[in-house]
Structure 1
């Protein structure tokens, strides 16, 4: 699955939020989407929090079709680093 369309959705969410943390979505072989300094990139860069999941689950997450807490409990999303950053992700995803 291509990550570029998902990155555009995240970019739009970042533009309308006050999310300032560094965060990385790691989708394994499909690639990564990194957020830092108010910018979205497709480069693998260090982040305070890394969310590891499939590209399909990331697509569902950003479209509001996957509940983040349920996904973590079911093992569909793994959280690495600072979990407080992951908790603030709602600011970014809400439109």
Structure 2
């Protein structure tokens, strides 16, 4: 089983590689199951933190979820709502 910190790093690397959102100042990991597989659900947002943006930001960020398998350490799905996801073709 991979650690929470490792899962966060895997999700970050996947986000960068696939040019999807990652917020350095906000990301959390939570244990859950996806299609019967134990995963870390990494939640973050698709906007980069910027000190120049006013409070509550000019544009509200969208949530982004990355699902990282606890068994093999691969990002197996992504989504923008915690109960809606898209399986990634990992072949």
| Higher alpha-carbon Rg | 2
TM-score by length of 2: 0.38
Greater share of residues in strand: 2
Greater share of residues in helix: 1
Higher relative contact order (CA 8 A, sep 6+): 1
TM-score by length of 1: 0.37
